[in-house]
Amino acid sequence: MQRYFVNEKIGNYFFIDNKDSYHIITVMRMHLKDRVEIVYQNKLFLCEITLLEPNVKCEIIEELNNTILQIPKVSIAQSLVKEQKMDYILQKSTELGVYEIIPTYTERSIIKINDKYDKKIERWKKVVKEASEQSKRFTLPNINRIIDLNELAKEQYDFKFICSVNEKRKTIKNVLSNININDTILFVIGPEGGFSEKEEKLLIDNGFQTITLGKNILRTETSSVFILSVINYHFMR
């Protein structure tokens, strides 16, 4: 059953925005009385379509139980990469339960910041919304504004980690043994060329720990998938 996130509710009815109405009518070819799942304010509802045009209107049938993924709040600070790779990172991180994604500018980032990034962030939000609906999430990951490492270094979390090719002994498996379900965690993932020595020192001086993701050197777009997969496995009940 299709799931949609909505922001407008009046009485016992939800009102679907233009884009999702287009998807329901034109892509899914739904009809009156077809049923959909609606997420509103982190609550899940089974609904029936009562109006198709001009926008879709749905009536609540019942509120459903929602089983929330039980992992800590994991934030990924991702060095800016090309669009196709960023889409992959956003989609897969969302499917695996990421809490927040922080696009980050680093010295070796291929992509440079310019005036068009407000539009980029809006596009990224659309990508995570679609991935959240597909993976049956109850919450949307937050997409932060683009920041640099100087600003990132000041952010406060219970645990802060740098994924470093220089670290050989401290693995993600080691550090997870000290983390509980209520902790907030930040992982910083570098660009394809890695962090400079200056950047690593900046983060370490501000309370970040270096960790290794294993003997193999992962691509930047693989790292977040690996991290979140390990965390899901570790906290699996």
| pLDDT for 202 | 95
Average pLDDT over residues 175-195: 91
For domain 73-234, give the CATH superfamily: SPOUT methyltransferase, trefoil knot domain (3.40.1280.10)
Q: Is the pLDDT of residue 232 over 80?
A: yes
Torsion from C-alpha of 150, 95, 114, 110, nearest 10 degrees = 80
H-run or E-run covering 116: none
CA 135 distance to own-chain centroid: 12
**How far are the Cα atoms of 125, 191, 208 from residue 122, in angstroms, in the given order?**
5, 22, 30
The confidence band for 110, taking pLDDT boundaries of 50, 70 and 90, is confident
Taking 90 as the threshold, does the pLDDT of residue 88 lie above it?
yes
The structural domains of the chain, with segments of one domain joined by +, span 3-64, 73-234
Residue 159: both structure tokens together: 């645990």
Q: If we measure between CA atoms, which residue out of 162, 189, 154 comes closest to residue 78? A: 189
Q: Are 185 and 158 a contacting pair, CB within 8 Å?
A: yes
pLDDT of residue 113: 65
**Residue 191: band (very low, low, confident or very high) from pLDDT cuts 50, 70, 90:** confident
Instruction: Report which DSSP code applies to 171.
Output: B
- Contact between 78 and 189 (Cβ < 8 Å): yes
**Mean pLDDT across the stretch 105-130?**
82
Tell me if the domain spanning 3-64 has CATH number 2.40.240.20: yes
Is the per-residue pLDDT at 31 higher than 70? yes
Give the burial class of 149: count Cβ atoms within 10 A of its Cβ; 0-12 exposed, 13-18 middle, 19 or more buried: buried
Q: How many helices (H) and strands (E) does the chain have?
A: 7, 13
Q: How far apart are CA 170 and CA 165, in angstroms?
A: 11
